[in-house]
Amino acid sequence: MNDWMELEKKYFLNTIKRSPAVMVRGEGAWVWDDQGKKYLDFVAGWAVNCLGHCHPVMVEAIKEQAAQLIQVSNQYYSIPQIQLAQLLMENSCLDKLFFCNSGAEANEGAIKLARRYGKLHGNGAYEVITALKSFHGRTLAMTAATGQPNFQEPYTPMPQGFVNVEFNSIEAIKLATTPQTVAVMLEPVQGEGGVNIPDRGYLEAVRRWCDEQNLLLIFDEVQTGIGRLGTLFGYQLFGVEPDIMTLAKGLGGGVPIAAFLAKERAAVFAPREHGSTYGGQPLACAVAYAVMKYVIEHDIPGNARRRGQELMAGLNALRGQFPFITDVRGRGLLVALEFDREISQPAVGLCLEEGLLLNPVKPNALRFMPPLIVTSEEVAQAVAIVGRVLGQIGQP
């Protein structure tokens, strides 16, 4: 343990099990630690750094806006948030939005909006159906929304109004629907739950059920939005439009910003029913605008799709050598490699030593979520490191 690690242990609430590296610098898909060692970053700030580290368009936007106006109250108009809103609306199926600061906060806002809809158009319905193995954030209400009992148990009793049902089962959603149900909230691809892909037809069936029952369909695209799955938004990959969509991680490319977006029919907030001090601040919005514009103009989702195919092909090619690989799955640059044994912790530790950052999304699965600007050579380097590491672990 070096001095920084000792100090962290002394001062921090013990919630995070960090890998032993103190990161001090980043460029593109690479980060450097305080010893000068360099790593290929396939964690990317947790699926955040879509343009990689310290991309020039982000650095320029930060410099320019920081010298102009950093924060101003939402009591007044400010230009970057309006420009960003326009760009998001012109490129999505949604009509109205609200800016906030984190994924959990965006989801909270989406749930509040759905409850308003229930009061106004659903006879007071307020319950939201979510999926098991989902992840919607760490606030108390989003802990109840998150269908993972081990996240909820330390904090019971849970806030009311959420029902967690099996993912990929339209029957489970139908059975859980009552006159109190107002919405269904799903991730188009479950990220934290292990990169779980919806079965063919599932999201379409949920959309049809919501239409029949006057329920709102909320897509939590905090992880899947902004090109991650190879399309600008995840809903486009599956051809199913949500009534409400939440965004965060990739939206700012590394500055904290989030949003929830609604179709006209669900845009039912009245003045003073919701708010945020920092939400939509000029600095964060100017950076997110520069990121979004770059993502769209340079077809970054297309790069995610092509590099993702190379990554999955590379990982699939390892299967011949390592029969304990049981699955390679993903869309775009959200990919998981699953094993028949619980080796992801030691594998991530060895990858760190070899200069590759990865996430052990499950005890038996690794997650790959590199910057969307990653190159073919970098993908090949990552696959080669994983191959070497599995070779070490796979020795009897």
Ligand X SMILES: *Cc1c(COP(=O)(O)O)cnc(C)c1O
Interface with ligand X (CB under 6 A) = 102-104, 107, 135-137, 187, 191-192, 220, 222-223, 248-249
Cα angle for residues 85, 67, 300 (degrees, 5° grid) = 45
CB 179 within 8 A of CB 205: no
| Closest residue by Cα to residue 175 from 129, 232, 112 | 129
Tokens 């809809």 map to which residue?
117
CB 226 within 8 A of CB 247: yes
Comparing every residue's Cβ against ligand X, the nearest one is: 103
Nearer of residues 141 and 325 to ligand X, judged by Cβ: 141
Among the listed residues 205, 191, 195, 196, the one whose alpha carbon sits nearest the alpha carbon of residue 239: 205
Of 247 and 352, nearer to ligand X (C-beta) is: 247
Query: Which residues does 11 contact at the CB level (< 8 Å), separation at least 6?
Result: none
User: What is the smallest separation between the CB atom of 269 and ligand X, expressed in angstroms?
Assistant: 21
Please state the closest distance from residue 108 (CB atom) to ligand X, in A.
9
Beta carbon of residue 190, minimum distance to ligand X (angstroms, whole number): 8
Nearer to ligand X, 103 or 109 (CB): 103
Rounded to 5°, the CA angle 73-77-80 comes to 95
The structure tokens listed for 11 are 């001062």
Radius of gyration of the chain (CA): 21
Q: Which helix (H) or strand (E) holds 315?
A: helix 300-317
Tokens representing 376?
Answer: 């073919």
Shortest separation between residue 45's beta carbon and ligand X, angstroms? 11
Indicate if the alpha-carbon torsion angle 283, 289, 291, 294 is positive or negative: negative
Q: Which is nearer to ligand X, 52 or 256 (CB)?
A: 256
CB of 137 to ligand X, least distance (A): 4
Nearest to ligand X of 247, 385 (CB atom): 247
> Closer to ligand X at the Cβ: 261 or 385?
261
* Count of alpha carbons within 13 angstroms of residue 37, beta-carbon side: 14
Q: Measuring CA to CA, which residue among 296, 276, 366 is closest to residue 329?
A: 366
Q: Which is nearer to ligand X, 181 or 246 (CB)?
A: 246
Q: How far is the CB of 390 from ligand X (least distance, A)?
A: 26
Supply the minimum distance, in Å, between the C-beta of residue 235 and ligand X: 13
Q: Smaller CB distance to ligand X: residue 107 or 177?
A: 107
Least distance (Å) from ligand X to the CB of residue 181?
Answer: 21
